[in-house]
Each structure stands twice: as structure tokens, then as C-alpha cells.
Structure 1
Amino acid sequence: MNLFGGTISSLENGLNYASLKNKTIAQNIANVDTPNYKAKDVSFEKMLSEARNSTINANKTDIRHYDFTIKQSTPGVFSYENYQYRSNGNGVDMDAQQASLAENTIYYNALIDRISGKLNTLNTVIKGGR
């Protein structure tokens, strides 16, 4: 039985994506002066497809063997390999990274507000409307 109808877990997945994207942007900004550094980004579509296709089932050869499933989670981080923004081979565009950071911060804060609203609603229900 799923108590929250999947909403909380969907919001949690969104927060995981936003957090990973924020770490990737921070890494790009930290390496803005590193020669031959290639900028990285996070693809939500890649994360979603990898989450769907990342289960490994055990091959049971005897009835005494246990059934188990292993979930492999590799985030959808990729590099812009052929992109060169500066003459030293660095592929980080500082203006684009700062804009992406601002956009991701707004997305993250919206998810936090939505989770807070959900939890406040549950709190009201638990307290009986008081």
C-alpha cells in the first residue's frame, strides 16, 4: 500500500535530480580555469531511462536459492566532449553556468515548497483539523 499515492516519492526524485544538477554546476564553476576541462550536465531523460532499466534479476538455478533484485543507479551525468569555449580547451561557459544555477535553484525551491505543503496537509489531518 502506498500511503501518499506516489506524490512524495516523485517529489523526492525531483529533489535528487536538482541536487545532482546543482553539484554538477558547482563542479563546472570550480573548474572554470582548468585547462582541457569539459563541462558536465545532467539529463533528466537519461536519469529516468536509467532508473527504469537498471534492475538486474538473479538467475535461480535451484529452488533453495533466494529471489533478489539489484537496482543499479547511475545518474545521467554527461560531458560535452567536443565543446571548447576557451583557447586552453576548457568547455565551461561561466554565464551559462550561472543562469543554469539560478534556474535550478528556482526548481529546487519549488519542489521544497510543494513537499512542505504536502507534509503540512498531513500534519493537519493527523491533528484532526486543529
Structure 2
Amino acid sequence: MDDIKEYLNIYASALSLRGRRNEMIASNIANAATPNFKARDINFDTEIRKHLRDGPLETTHGDHIPFAAPYSTGQALYRSPINPSLDGNTVELAVEQLQFSENATRYQTTLNFLDGRIKGLMSAIRGE
């Protein structure tokens, strides 16, 4: 059972990171007209590499509290604006919309990969 968990864990972490990134970009878009708002983002590649290198957090004692999504929050970074605004806001609507669209597409692609893996496991279990 642990092998199946490990087999699917990378997809769960990727979905968690992608979901968090979508929330952050949506917040940037919502605050496009807020003076002095600083656009934030997550570097997906860096965060997923942390997961691959360090793996998920594991409990080593019965009294430890398990933590299911170790990299779901991701380290938020500030986006550098191409054309800074006079009011100190670093949100560039076109950039944010592009990033949101790309991330949503990648989220759906990850779901499709996960669906394929699950279907493959189910096929193997059934002996097909």
C-alpha cells in the first residue's frame, strides 16, 4: 500500500502547489488596483524539487501529528514588474492573466496524468 502512496504522492504535491499558486495569482488579479500591492508568486519548479529531494514529512513516533501536504503553501516570492506603476502596485494584469491561464492548464494536465495512473493501477488490480 505504501508503494501506491509513493507512486501517486508526486501528483498530490503538484496539485497542491498548483492550487496554491492559482489562489495567489487570483489574489494578485483581484488587487490590481490596490495602491502599493506587491504581486506574489510561487516558483513551482523550486518547490517541487524540494519535495522530490526531501520527500514528504513522515511521522516517526505515534504522538507525532502527520502533515499530509508538506509543500502546499510554497515560499511566496515577489514578482518584479516590467512596467512599474506610480502608485507602487506591481501587478501587471496581462502578466497575471497569462500566468493564471498557464497554471490552470498545467493543473488540469496534472489531473489527467493522475487519472491515467489511477486507471493503470485499477487495470493491474483487475488483471486486465
- In which range does the TM-score fall when normalised by the shorter chain? 0.7 to 0.9
Distance 1:33 1:12, change over 3 A: same
Q: Residue in 1 aligned with 2:95?
A: 96
Query: 2:120 and 2:66 mapped to 1: Cα distance?
Result: 35
Q: Cα distance, 1:109 vs. partner?
A: 0.9
What runs of 5+ residues in structure 2 fail to find an aligned partner? none
CA RMSD in angstroms comes to 3.3
Q: TM-score, normalised by structure 2?
A: 0.74
Is the Cα contact below 8 Å between 2:17 and 2:44 reproduced in 1?
yes
Query: 2:3 and 2:49 mapped to 1: Cα distance?
Result: 25
Identical-pair percentage: 25
Q: Residue in 1 aligned with 2:24?
A: 24
Q: Cα distance, 1:105 vs. partner?
A: 1.2
Larger radius of gyration: 1
Query: 2:50 and 2:120 mapped to 1: Cα distance?
Result: 33
Is the Cα contact below 8 Å between 1:37 and 1:89 reproduced in 2?
yes
Q: How does 1:9-88 map to 2 (within 5 A)?
A: 9-48=9-48, 52=54, 75-80=74-79, 83=81, 85-88=84-87
What runs of 5+ residues in structure 1 fail to find an aligned partner? 56-65
Q: Cα distance, 1:43 vs. partner?
A: 1.3
What is the letter of the counterpart of residue 17 of structure 2?
Y
Q: Cα distance, 1:128 vs. partner?
A: 2.9
Distance 1:45 1:112, change over 3 A: closer
Is the Cα contact below 8 Å between 2:13 and 2:48 reproduced in 1?
no
| Per-residue CA distance 1:73-130 (angstroms, 9 max, x = gap) | 65211224x747321111100000111011111111110001001111122222232x
Larger proportion of strand = 1
Larger proportion of helix = 2
Q: Cα distance, 1:30 vs. partner?
A: 0.6
Query: 1:127 and 1:69 mapped to 2: Cα distance?
Result: 35
